[in-house]
Copies of this chain bind each other. A is one copy, B any other.
Amino acid sequence: MRKDDVYFFENPAYVLAWSSCAGKKEGEGPLGSRFDVVAADDRFGEQTWEQAEKAMVQTSLAGAMAKAGVQPGEVGCILGGDLLNQCVSTSYAVRELHTRFYGLYGACSTMAESLILGSVLISAGLEDKTLCTASSHFCSAERQYRYPLQYGGQRAPTAQWTATASGSVMLTAAPQKIAVTRAMAGRIYDPGVTDAANMGAAMAQSAYETILSYFKTTGEQPSDYDMIVTGDLGAIGRDIVVELAKAGGLDLDGKYTDCGIMLFDREKQDVHSGGSGCGCSAAVLCGYILPEMEKGSLKRVLFCGTGALLSPLTTSQGESIPGICHLVCLEVM
């Protein structure tokens, strides 16, 4: 059932397995030791950045299947996407697996969007072994969104660093330790930011509104959760969420952080405001959040995927940047 914007799953989807795959720089960050695969270099043995990203998606999908003990032929469907034009790293990675496939585009909110729709399909009894996936690659994203790497363009202090990472989660109908008990699709908020080098500021309001609306509907408090995590606002966007919450009377109770802040060491890794890209929240989910829930150190987590729904073309045409935030409630049962 749904109340306001929140889906409450009577038959929740359960998390059967997960896997993450990250680039060299991400491997050198604070969560580096937690990823299943860290690439020796960001080419993943491929000839192009786009093929490298495809290989990363294949690696995390294969990792989740292997951990679940599920063969490709037993996978029901895959939901996922990425940042590349026409979402090609996901489509090409999925091609060989030959499952039912739903292509999604939610920018950096894609991991949360895929978990919501995957959970809906399982809760409705229509799918079982379902893979939710998202990825990004610094080099393919820089070339597409900004400048070729060889150009050596200067990055703005407000900019985020697109993560070279992929995460895949296998959901199932059969009870497991961790469940997706609730979810909430986001509404678009656009506070009028036109600077594509400051996406955290563009997305912060959507994150705040989604989180606020969730607590209003459920009657719960941030203190009822072990972690409320956005992905990915970076330090600037995170600070705006904290300020908005303070002004709006929402006490985040020290429970709030952001995947873009967790992925990198901002002091040492020159990532400016923090990490971004579909792969950032996907890899933090699969490298840190779900493993900590499995261990029992986190029991209730709100995973809030934030996306900036712009394109280089809309920016060059002077448009502001619409933000969206999809929320997933993960609980140890």
Contact = CB atoms under 8 A, between A and B. Distances in A.
Interface of A: 1-2, 5, 7, 48, 50-51, 77, 81, 83-88, 91-92, 94-95, 98-107, 113, 116-117, 120-121, 123-127, 185-188, 190, 307, 309-314, 317, 319, 322, 324
A88 B5 CA distance: 24
Contacts of A125: 1-2
Given A85-B312, A120-B126, A101 B1 contact: no
Q: Which of A50, A94, A120, A317 has the most CB of B within 10 A?
A: A120
Number of copies: 2
B51 A317 contact: yes
How would you classify the secondary structure of chain A's contact residues: helix, strand, loop or mixed?
mixed
Q: Which of A50, A311, A319 has the most CB of B within 10 A?
A: A311
A101 B314 contact: no
Contact of A102 (B87, B117, B311, B317): B117
B101 A104 contact: no
A99 B1 contact: no
Contacts of A87: 105, 309
B103 A105 contact: yes
A309 B78 CA distance: 15
A50 B317 contact: yes
Contacts of A124: 120, 123-124
